[in-house]
Amino acid sequence: MASLKSIRKRINSVRNTRQITKAMKMVAAAKLRRAQENVLAARPYAEKLAEVLQRLAGSGGHSGHPLLGKEKTEKVLLIVVSSDRGLCGGFNANICKAAESFVRENGSRYPEISLMTIGRKGYDYLRRRATIRKNYPNILSSLNYQTAALIARELIDGYITDEYDAVYLLYNAFRSVLSQTITITQLLPVQPPEVPEEEFSPEAIYEPSKEELFTGLFPKNVEVQLFHAMLESVASEHGARMTAMDSATKNATEMIDKLTLQYNRARQAAITTELVEIISGAQSVGG
């Protein structure tokens, strides 16, 4: 049986760990609230942009835009959004496994698949398992639209110059504190939503022209999709970390209870042994 001193050390160590995990849970909860507010604030703009694209797509006039597709799709870029820090359960492991699955399942379909990682954890895991074109670390902690727009512009330029023929985005979509859904969407080529012919009136006057609107809105749509996905990933990260730290705190409490019980039993056994020795000594002296 372990000594009383070693058990006390373990109890103190676990208590210190519980304090840390409890504090991290509270910090993650505060950050999650802000991240949820950011997601909700960005959602109306994304929805309205999608509505405008639907109306324009319903009226035609976009078939010749350079972001709408190429004859062949041979070179594919997969953007993987992970986190820069750990201690968030299976958040990073799940997204990295999904990236590996995408490369494995589409290897025969596309001759060349490369990755762009946003977040240090995804890069650390995937750099030895796939071709990493570029990594963007430490941008999610202070995420803003300008950063997403710069990355989107780089993606569009690479697509136009034939560095790759398609771009896919892989991220964790936020559903709740306990639920994050791995989501993959196609960023490029842009796919205008299909609209029933009877839904929109063809008699519409556009100022500026529809072609000019598509020229501005297609790149803007890529920016908004990327920014929204990064916001979703940040909220998912904080939710996963909050859940992981809550679970770690509960496990630490259970371990402290078990160690305390073990300590009391060991202490009782030690007291019993001392009493037996005292009684035996007294009997031997009295005899």
Q: Which residues form the catalytic set?
A: 88
Strand ranges (E), 6-150? 75-81, 112-118, 132-136
Taking residue 84's Cβ as centre, other Cβ atoms within 10 Å add up to: 18
d(CA 218, CA 68) in angstroms, rounded, equals 9
Q: Which residues pair with 179 in a beta bridge?
A: 176
Q: How far apart are CA 239 and CA 179, in angstroms?
A: 8
Q: Are strands 179-188 and 166-176 parallel, antiparallel or unpaired?
A: antiparallel
Residue 1: CA atoms inside 13 Å, Cβ hemisphere, count? 13
Instruction: Please provide the DSSP assignment of 52-92 as one string.
Output: HHHHHHHT---TT-GGG--S---EEEEEEE--SS--STTHH
